[in-house]
Amino acid sequence: MTSLDQLKQFTTVVADTGDFQLLSQYAPQDATTNPSLVLKAAQKPEYRHILDKVVRDGAGKPVDALIDDVLVAFGREILAVIPGRVSTEVDARLSFDTAATVTKAREIVARYDAAGVPRERVLIKIASTWEGIQAARVLQAEGTRTNMTLLFSLAQAVACADVGAQLISPFVGRIYDWYVKRDGKTFEPENDPGVQSVRRIHAYYKAHGVGTEVMGASFRSVGQVLALAGCDLLTISPDLLEALRNSDQPVERKLGAGTPEVIEKLDLDEKRFRWSLNEDAMATEKLAEGIRLFGIDTVKLEALIAGIAG
């Protein structure tokens, strides 16, 4: 068996891409997108027809509405290939506005509803700010399932669980990047701060009976992926999926075997959440950076659409 096939015995494999033509090669259950991934895919000549159709069908719409149409168009194409769910992201520039995030999420879901896509096949991605987490509380109560992204700390994970988020996406690679830059050295998977962060979150959830799914994300290496075998889900880029498919390295379950680690339950209100996040320099910096970068790529996608619309 390939390493990819072995991994699928322990973990639900998710493809982290907007390039839906690649999906059938790896047979993932779900797929995730973000503004950066959709921008990358949208710039490929083979997907230009999707943009042209969105602009043509949406003549007269404002650019922000066309962006939502593009995101959902790619989401629908992805859902035609995979059996599970697609994650579609709310504009990162709304990350500090609960009401606007809820409104935007409802607009995205309405587009999927209009296309006949069952709501259980859609996850709305929201940045794990305090405001984003409160938006998830509202959306989950309405039956809209959320994927809490840009997550770098246990405090964020606990707050997301407290509002009943469907799924969280703790970022392994970006945590790793921060510590490599700070310490001036690399880390083997077992000592990788990003891997250790996800393991702790997973253990906390299992120890306290949390139903929110944990999906490790943002990987830099096959080693990081395999160090989290047994996590509920792992969302993996096409290049690492290919490496796993071309490998026969044995894969062992690393999470979920044996008795969960005992971790003290956290009680977080807004003040405690903000203080905990502030005390974690890595999480504070990577959350802010991630929001900025997704915002930049959303602006680029808007410019691309505006250029086609003329």
Show the domains of the chain with their CATH numbers.
3-309 (3.20.20.70)
DSSP 255: S
Non-local (6+) Cβ contacts of 218 within 8 A are 169, 171, 172, 173, 174, 194
Q: Are 169 and 304 in contact (CB under 8 A)?
A: no
Condensed to tens digits (0 to 9), the pLDDT of residues 224-283 reads: 999 999 999 999 999 999 999 999 999 999 998 776 677 899 999 999 999 999 999 999
Give the separation between CA 34 and CA 95, rounded to whole angstroms.
14
- Active-site hit among 125, 181, 185, 254: 125
Condensed to tens digits (0 to 9), the pLDDT of residues 197-224 reads: 999 999 999 999 999 999 999 999 999 9
* Strand positions, DSSP E, the chain: 12-16, 30-32, 86-89, 122-127, 145-151, 167-170, 213-216, 233-236
Q: Are 69 and 301 in contact (CB under 8 A)?
A: no
pTM: 0.96
**Residue 125 a catalytic site member:** yes
Extract the residue ranges of the chain whose pLDDT is less than 70: 259-260
Which among 260, 250, 211, 252 has a CA at the least distance from the CA of 232?
Answer: 211
